[in-house]
Amino acid sequence: MIHRLLLVAAAFVLVHALVSADVLRGEEKGSYEYEEMVIKGVGFDKITGTPVVLLTDKKQGGDMLPIWIGLCEARAIELGISDSVAPRPMTYDLVAAIVRTLNAKVKRVLIVDLRDNVFYAQVEVSVGGKTQSIDARPSDALALALRMGAPVFVNKAVIKKSLLRKDPEKEREI
């Protein structure tokens, strides 16, 4: 009986230590820290011909975080940036209208991870005082954030992996 209790206690201590060290989550220490960023604009990667949405640090605005997106999503983000309205509601306009009709609020958009050159995002929605995180593609989340006036936050570990430093040569490429 004593051996079982010691084994359970040792297992508890080990799990607690691993979780504290973020080993079980596979995350680097501090990877849950976020930085607020703003959507600077949409451009095209001249090498691939693919649209790219560019995020910049809200405070400094110098370095850019590029996220490659699809053509339809690029158009939706451009419309959101310019506050233009499509002749008929786009999907993002419809989702925003549904959120408003349900008296819900998009609290913020989070770019949470970058794995195998794929970005992952979440939309935090508050309904009746309860907040839920919804998995989303970053392009969809950003298009919705523009329509809802929601802030955008990016995981600092993601920024570290993919940030473009202010470089006139690089800027000409995108």
Residue ranges per structural domain of the chain: 1-27, 31-173
Which of the four CATH numbers 3.10.310.40, 3.50.40.10, 3.40.50.150, 3.10.690.10 does domain 31-173 have?
A: 3.10.690.10
One-letter amino acid of 19: V
The pLDDT tens digits of the residues spanning 112-139 come to 999 998 999 999 999 999 999 999 999 9
Distance CA 49, CA 78 (A): 17
Q: Write out pLDDT tens, residues 88-112.
A: 988 999 999 999 999 999 999 999 9
Q: Which two tokens stand for residue 3?
A: 């051996």
Q: What does 79-100 look like in DSSP terms, one character per residue?
A: HHHHT---SS--HHHHHHHHHH
In 29-167, where do the E strands start and end?
34-44, 51-57, 64-68, 104-115, 118-127, 130-136, 152-155
pTM value is: 0.75
Q: What are phi and psi of 21, to 5 degrees?
A: -90, 5
